[in-house]
Amino acid sequence: MHSETGRRATLDKRRGDVAAMFDGVAKRYDLFNDVLSMGQVRRWRRATVEAIDPQPGQRILDLAAGTGTSSAVLAARGAYVVPSDISLGMLAQGRVQQPGLDFVAGDALALPFQDETFDAVTISYGLRNVERTLDAIAEMYRVTKPGGRVVIAEFSTPTNPLFRHIYTDYLVAALPRIAKLSSNPVAYGYLAESILAWPDQRGLAELMMEAGWQGVEWQDHAGGIVALHRGWKR
């Protein structure tokens, strides 16, 4: 077991470090998501569900699913949802919080599923924690059925320059201070760093197209703090 104190990843995003960091915050992860987003995470989750458009009987892979909060909403629409995460601590907490879901341990760079298994693949606020972004997007493409879709919800770049400056100040200064209330404040320091280092909306769209996704589009939320990217498999 990993200690809950002082665990964090670096921008090298080594898989073991990322998994250990999330193991340490699993029990209070959902609570701090609400606090740090000032409640906006629930609105963003609803928008993500609408972008995925789950239908009864469809098979959906929810990557970086954590405790399964997002997966449960998709399952409530009648889809069969597979929540997957690299953090065993997150999976253990998810099985407590969402006992009706079938959690699967999985690495986004080597998914334990056959080609063309899912009607849709989604990942929320986890892609920037993967070592090789393009390879992960290609893996999502591999396990998606022809005609299927991907939806990526991720922190992005505010489109208004003034707002972008204010937001950056919040990430650099305010977020780590708020996170000191958590069981693993240094992990939330990594959170701020990883958001600032992440590609903007167009940059992520270009990576998706490079991996083979067609009709790539995005929708900004909260002025670009979050962007929903969607694409289809030919």
Q: Which of 81, 91, 108, 121 is nearest to 27 (CA)?
A: 91
Confidence (pLDDT) at 104: 97
CB-CB contact of 48 with 122 (8 Å): yes
CA dist., res. 195 & res. 168, Å (int): 10
Q: What is the Rg, in whole angstroms, of the alpha carbon atoms belonging to the chain?
A: 17
CA dist., res. 187 & res. 167, Å (int): 19
CA dist., res. 39 & res. 72, Å (int): 18
Confidence (pLDDT) at 165: 85
Confidence (pLDDT) at 43: 87
Confidence (pLDDT) at 203: 97
Confidence (pLDDT) at 36: 54
Confidence (pLDDT) at 10: 47
- Whole-number Cα distances in Å, 11 to 41, 75, 191, 194: 24, 33, 10, 7
Residues of the chain with pLDDT under 70: 1-39, 172, 174-189
Which amino acid is it at 94? G
Confidence (pLDDT) at 139: 98
Q: Which of 74, 70, 87, 172 is nearest to 129 (CA)?
A: 87
Domain 15-232 has CATH 3.40.50.150: yes
Confidence (pLDDT) at 196: 86
CA dist., res. 123 & res. 117, Å (int): 16
Measured at the CA of 61, the angle between CA 13 and CA 12, to 5 degrees, comes to 5
